[in-house]
Amino acid sequence: MDFVYRRSYRGRVRAVIFDLAGTTVDFGCRAPVEALIELFQRHGIEVPVEDVRQAMGIHKKDHLRAILQSRVVAGQWRAAHGETPDEADTERLFTEFIPIQTAAIGRHADVIPGVSETINQLRKRGIRIGATTGYSREMVKGLLRDVAASGFQPDNLICADDVPAGRPAPWMAVTSAMKLGIYPLEACVKVGDTVADIEEGLNAGMWTVGITWAGNEVGLSEQECESLGPDELTRRVTRATDRLGAAGAHFVIESVQDLLPVIEAIDSRMAAGAKP
């Protein structure tokens, strides 16, 4: 009779790795939407907001490529240029896009309510804080300086161009954990507001938590959320919850300020032998 033995981590959460836009900063994930729409408008092309938000969370060059390949945009491009957009167009547009996106990030460098307080509580529990983003390093070079005064200072930030491939590949989350010195990866929690965030965490073997109210899937500013009727806001949050849950998120919450009970629930699950 053959037996296979498997080690099981029964400890607590040791690191939480956050996304940026729509999770910790930029309520509603507006900076990428504004920048991509502005880029294409400069070329006489109108991009539906839904098309921009569909692929949110991936490397911004991949995001740009996905929009160019969408039916609506590809059709407009062919009408304007007489040919289907190719990789050379992607590279040229991405170069033009970098300063547009950088400016938009600066306009939306607000820390989402509850983030700083939650991070302080996590650190009191000895939990390390990482961050990953679909932005390039050049785009965010001033962001952490701008938000530090509001209390958001992750121990590291891994950008999409720091690794061989961005989301949904696991490399940013894995690199963040490596730089934090944290293992096993099941002791880490990935928190984000997009399907790509959830896939990144799952592919890294981490617990995953989706964010709805402040994130891309609801896609509204804080003021818009407050002015929206309660039934419509509930409908949008429910839709976001369903989409992130369908992507495989272990937990879905409205915002980072709701995270601490989730960390406790994950601790309990791991103590009982559960894995992500």
Q: Which residues pair with 15 in a beta bridge?
A: 128, 188
What is the total count of domains within the chain?
2
Residue 146 near residue 62, CB atoms below 8 Å: no
Q: How far is residue 248's CA from residue 240's CA, in Å, rounded to a whole number?
A: 13
What is the pLDDT at residue 33? 96
Catalytic, 51? Answer no
Same domain membership, residue 53 and residue 176: no
What is the pLDDT at residue 1? 62
In a domain, 2, yes or no: no
In a domain, 59, yes or no: yes
Burial of 164 (0-12, 13-18, 19+ CB in 10 A): exposed
In a domain, 1, yes or no: no
Count of C-beta atoms within a 10 Å radius of residue 227: 10
Total-model pTM? 0.93
Burial of 139 (0-12, 13-18, 19+ CB in 10 A): buried
Nearest-CA neighbor of 139 among 243, 230, 32? 32
36-59 confidence digits (pLDDT tens): 999 999 999 999 898 899 889 998
Q: Please list the ranges in the chain whose pLDDT falls under 70.
A: 1
Q: Is the dihedral of CA 62, 64, 65, 67 positive or negative?
A: positive
Only one residue has tokens 């958001």, namely 152
Q: How far is residue 129's CA from residue 120's CA, in Å, rounded to a whole number?
A: 10
Same domain membership, residue 149 and residue 21: yes
Catalytic, 60? Answer yes
Same domain membership, residue 148 and residue 72: no
Domain span at 99: 31-107
Domain boundary among 48, 72, 107: 107
Kindly give the residue spans of alpha helices, DSSP state H, lying in the chain: 31-41, 49-54, 60-69, 71-81, 87-107, 115-124, 143-148, 171-180, 195-203, 222-227, 230-246, 259-271
Same domain membership, residue 174 and residue 62: no
Q: φ and ψ at 235, to 5 degrees? A: -60, -45
What is the pLDDT at residue 148? 84
**Active-site hit among 60, 61, 62, 193:** 60
Q: φ and ψ at 116, to 5 degrees? A: -60, -40
What is the pLDDT at residue 228? 87
Same domain membership, residue 119 and residue 102: no
